[in-house]
Amino acid sequence: MEQFFQQLTNGLAVGGIYALIALGYTMVYGVLKLINFAHADLFTLGAYLGLTLLTSMALTNHLGPLWGTLLLALMVMGLIALVGALLDRVAYRPLRASPRLSAVVSALGASIFLQNTIMLVYGARFQVYPQNILPKAAIELGGLSIPVVRLMVLATSVIMMAALYLFIQKTKIGTAIRAAAIDQGAARLMGIDVNRVILMVFLVGPSLGGLAGLMVGLYYGQINFTMGWNYGLKAFTAAILGGIGNIPGAMVGGLLLGIIEAMGAAYLSMAWKDAIAFCVLIMILIVRPTGLLGERVAEKV
């Protein structure tokens, strides 16, 4: 039982990271019907920018671990949001009227460009986050000893997901984002400036992805310019699992994938944990081709 709960909390922490990244895929897909392949590299960039800011500004020395990390997170989110908006402006917006395939190619190109840039600037070797930032302690919870860092990662992703959910559900611009995802033409007839909606999506999605990169750096301690590949694939899987384009779906999909992976690794086979996760994905898609939460309402003509 002990192992089960350890794996559960571990899976939720990793899953929360997947979910944060998955949100970026799903939001862009929702509005543009485009897989933003460069999203995984924005995640990587978040990890690297976090490291640079952490070591160069010594925020945690000046402000203490909590406020220092918080400020660091905000800075990374802000910077990656800007990069995301720039990415849209340069790589996608000029192709808005072109066939979708052009944008897909542009996305692949942007991904390669970002990944190579990161490698050129930071080098190809693993880089190590300072290890004295976050508390090493563990908390006793009902006979279970859980690392504080794990809880912090989990709490952060839950808070971010809740905030995003409220933003999307309760604000005017959030409703506009949902409307544009359903029918862009109809959204424009409502007076919604769809370009503004797209800009918003490219600010919010990448900022969450960048934050996830920082969290991975802080949680696991080392980063590499190819890290976006594995995390990106998992997060993309999570988005499909939940129903791509569906925001709560990406959250559920990410958490679920994290748990499946952790359980698979613990009870079945460490080496096969990715394969197990993908098997579950395939099985779910056979039963529900639109993903867990995709398209619940049938279209009425």
Q: Which residues contact another protein (rule: CB under 8 A)? A: 172, 175-176, 178-179, 182-183, 185-194, 295-301
Min dist. Cβ of residue 190 to another protein (A): 5
Q: Which is nearer to another protein, 97 or 270 (CB)?
A: 97
And the tokens for 184?
A: 């862009």
Residue 241 in tokens: 């699992």
Of 12 and 194, CB closest to another protein: 194
End-to-end CA separation in angstroms for the chain: 51
Strands 138-141 and 127-128: unpaired
At closest approach, how far in Å is the CB of 89 from another protein? Answer: 17
User: Nearest approach, Cβ of 251 to another protein (angstroms)?
Assistant: 17
DSSP run (H or E) holding 135: none
Distances (CA, A) of 51 to 57, 125, 149, 153, 263: 10, 14, 17, 17, 31
Residue number, 168 or 277, with CB nearest to another protein: 168
Q: How far is the CB of 300 from another protein (least distance, A)?
A: 5
| Closest to another protein by CB, 179 or 257 | 179
Q: Is the dihedral of CA 159, 162, 168, 169 positive or negative?
A: negative
Q: Which is nearer to another protein, 85 or 181 (CB)?
A: 181
Classify burial at 29, counting beta carbons within 10 Å of its beta carbon; exposed 0-12, middle 13-18, buried 19 or more.
Answer: buried
Sign of the torsion angle spanned by Cα atoms 55, 58, 59, 64: positive
CB of 184 to another protein, least distance (A): 10
Residue 222 CA to residue 134 CA, distance in Å, equals 14
